Amino acid sequence: MPYAWSTTRDADGPARRLRLWPYRSLPRRGFAVFILVTFGLITLPLYPLLGTIVLWGLLPFLLVAVAGIWWGLERSYRDGRMSEVLTIGPDTLRLVRTDPDGQRREWECESYWVKVRLHESDGPVPDYVTLAGKGRELEIGAFLSQDERRALYAELDAALRQVVAR
């Protein structure tokens, strides 16, 4: 799953830390191989056309197709740079979200008042997980799959109960 729990120590004492990130199905090496194979296969129909004017008519379109695939995959990698870090301490809960452009957004609340909610059908995605407290409700893990969000909800609820019960 594209998230991991760890135990840390902060100013309030021991804390549970959760780091979430989008799933990466294609590593960079696979990206290079995919682009090379795509380029090779897309140029196969051009070989019989070598030396003809038709080659120059088709070549730009094939290159635009490869460039479009390249751009789409690069955009996917850029969007995949986002992450969320949730720290659940005995006194405070803190969520830090880093967007793909590097902008950081932070939210902090007293752990005791935070409620984890699972919106099975009324969210933007099925099994939408939110944290509610301090008059706000924030999404967490919206980029995870539906099964991962269900598992995340159960783990978050248990971790929050455990930290607050101490």
Mean pLDDT of the chain: 89
Structure tokens at 160: 């929050």
Per-residue model confidence (pLDDT) at position 1:
65
Paired residues of 78 in beta bridges: none
pLDDT, one tens digit per residue, over 120-150 is 887 788 888 999 988 899 999 888 888 999 9
Per-residue model confidence (pLDDT) at position 123:
75
CA distance 70 to 63: 10
Mean pLDDT of 30-58: 93
Q: Which residues contact 163 (CB under 8 A, 6 or more apart)?
A: 15, 16, 88, 89, 90, 111
92 vs 10, more confident: 92
The yes-or-no verdict on residue 166 having pLDDT over 60 is no
The yes-or-no verdict on residue 7 having pLDDT over 70 is yes
Mean pLDDT of 1-27: 83
Per-residue model confidence (pLDDT) at position 104:
95
CATH number (3.30.379, 2.40.50, 1.10.40, 2.30.29) of 3-23+83-165 reads 2.30.29
pLDDT band, residue 54 (cuts 50/70/90)? very high
- Of 135, 127, 81, the C-alpha closest to 109 is 135
Q: pTM for this structure?
A: 0.76
pLDDT band, residue 53 (cuts 50/70/90)? very high
121 vs 82, more confident: 82
The top-scoring range by mean pLDDT among 11-25, 85-99, 122-136 is 85-99
Secondary structure of the chain in HEC code, one letter for each residue? CCEEEEEEEECCEEEEEEEECCCCCCCHHHHHHHHHHHHHHHHHHHHHHCCCHHHHHHHHHHHHHHHHHHHHHHHHHHHCCCEEEEEECCCEEEEEEECCCCCEEEEEEEHHHCEEEEECCCCCCCCEEEEEECCEEEECCCCCCHHHHHHHHHHHHHHHHHHHHC
CA distance 82 to 40: 32
CB 99 within 8 A of CB 85: no
Per-residue model confidence (pLDDT) at position 79:
83
162 vs 156, more confident: 156
- Of 104, 102, 79, the C-alpha closest to 21 is 79
